[in-house]
Amino acid sequence: MTSAHEDMACGTCLSPLNTTGMPPTYAHPAQVATDGHQPVPIPVNQLDAVRRTCDFCGDPHPTWTLLGGEVAAVLVGEAGGLVQNFGDAWAACATCQTYIDEGRNDKVVDRAVRALGLGNHMQARERIEQLHLAFLNARVPGRTLITTTVWPATLMTARELPKVRDRLARFYRGDDGLPGTLTSTDSRQQIAAGLDRSRLFWIDSDFTDLAEHAAELLPAVTVSRDLMPSTDGLLVWSRPVTTRQITAVSWTADGDGWQLVNYRTVGGGLDGKPLQRLREHVGWLAPVSTDQVHERRVLPGDHPTAALLATWLLIAQRAAEFRAAEIDKAVRKMYARSNRPTPEVQTVHIRANSSTRPTSSRVAPGDSGRSQTNRFWVSGHWRNQPHGPGRALRRPVYINPFLRGPEKAPIKLSTTVRMLSSRKPERKDRE
């Protein structure tokens, strides 16, 4: 956490690491209970999830990085250690940030005392206060959003998307910092402008399940304009997908390619003023990772945007049915007042009669008579099919997944059944 070194976290347990000396050595912070493994140092900017905690109160969902006085201290209480800072960059949770903004450092100290299990120990209180003030009194204005925090999911509805998009665009145009490649004002302005132009897509829960399933087995994909359902877009799944727990992706056309950004939701589990302020200042989405791609670039199947690629492919192979979501009257009025056309949100569903339509109650040989209480996806597979001018190009098409089990039964996500078919794949174009 020192400013003289690059921030590192352990690749095994995702805990931030303390760095000392030159050449640097790395250690797990004293308050982190590990199974005894050696730290595996990885630069934080190469990880999209880090298990950091608020340096003021220990909250597991730190939101902002603040710069302040260089402080070195270890706090150890009855409930365990809390802060071990050797640096001038502290992580603050949304609640501590709210109190700090209001000049209520006493409330921040209360939170620390509670987290350490120190009760009303006056001397401990004073020590913590001293420590906080040593940092805060030398604070540099500004703050940077922590994008490696994995929050509990916030579910969004299709009709909320215009508001979600507008907040995100405003955040990109604002003064709060972003780490990594999104530090450039130019690219932030460009993404904000792209969001203004974006078509909005909300993927329903069955299609989200299908896309996540398909993303797991995704082969390499060649990026091309005709793969995308719009030039610029913001696409939101009904829940976080893949191990990266991504909820949304934006793509923005710029000159010779597109800027792709993965997002996770922020603020899950918060309430009251800290939530209200986070929604106001950040919104619902935080950028997690970004990539610049150009026409004809080949992305590997395990690319960070695999879920987007799989969703695009499923839409391009006409497995999707679009419906226009109803837009709130308040939103329509707001857009009219600022002379913007009423936003359109497309909700995306699995198309009837498509090759990827889930077929319920399909009974496999040997299954008859056995009653099932859940439905589960039986994997389809990807196959390259010709497309484009002269059918000279190849693009993966997802074949034959289906839902097995009674029509009304809940879909069990944890069950993955690999079905080995003896049937030869049909040679039929679906273009």
Residues found near Zn ion in the complex (CB under 5 A): 10, 12-13, 54, 56-57, 59, 93, 96
Question: For residues 107 and 412, which CB has a smaller minimum distance to Zn ion in the complex?
Answer: 107
CB of 61 to Zn ion, least distance (A): 9
CB of 76 to Zn ion, least distance (A): 18
Closest CA to 410 of 376, 378, 363: 376
In angstroms, the CA 339 to CA 343 distance is 12
Overall size of the chain counted in residues: 431
In angstroms, the CA 380 to CA 256 distance is 34
H/E element, 225: none
In angstroms, the CA 254 to CA 270 distance is 36
138-148 burial, b at 16+ Cβ within 10 Å, e below that, comes to: eeeeebebbbb
Question: For residues 54 and 116, which CB has a smaller minimum distance to Zn ion in the complex?
Answer: 54
Question: For residues 12 and 292, which CB has a smaller minimum distance to Zn ion in the complex?
Answer: 12
Partner residues linked to 200 by β-bridges: 234, 345
What is the C-alpha radius of gyration for the chain, rounded to an integer number of angstroms?
25
In angstroms, the CA 26 to CA 24 distance is 7
Question: For residues 6 and 295, which CB has a smaller minimum distance to Zn ion in the complex?
Answer: 6
CB of 295 to Zn ion, least distance (A): 41
In angstroms, the CA 341 to CA 176 distance is 28
Tokens 């999209």 belong to 48
CB of 302 to Zn ion, least distance (A): 23
Closest CA to 415 of 405, 425, 406: 405
CB of 123 to Zn ion, least distance (A): 22
CB of 413 to Zn ion, least distance (A): 29
CB of 201 to Zn ion, least distance (A): 35
Question: For residues 61 and 188, which CB has a smaller minimum distance to Zn ion in the complex?
Answer: 61
Which residues, including other chains, have CB under 8 Å from residue 259's CB and lie 6 or more apart? 187, 190, 191, 194, 250, 251, 252, 290, 291, 292
Question: For residues 56 and 258, which CB has a smaller minimum distance to Zn ion in the complex?
Answer: 56
Phi/psi at 355 (5° precision): -65, -15
Question: For residues 54 and 210, which CB has a smaller minimum distance to Zn ion in the complex?
Answer: 54
Tokens 């939701």 belong to 265
CB of 315 to Zn ion, least distance (A): 40
Question: For residues 146 and 260, which CB has a smaller minimum distance to Zn ion in the complex?
Answer: 146
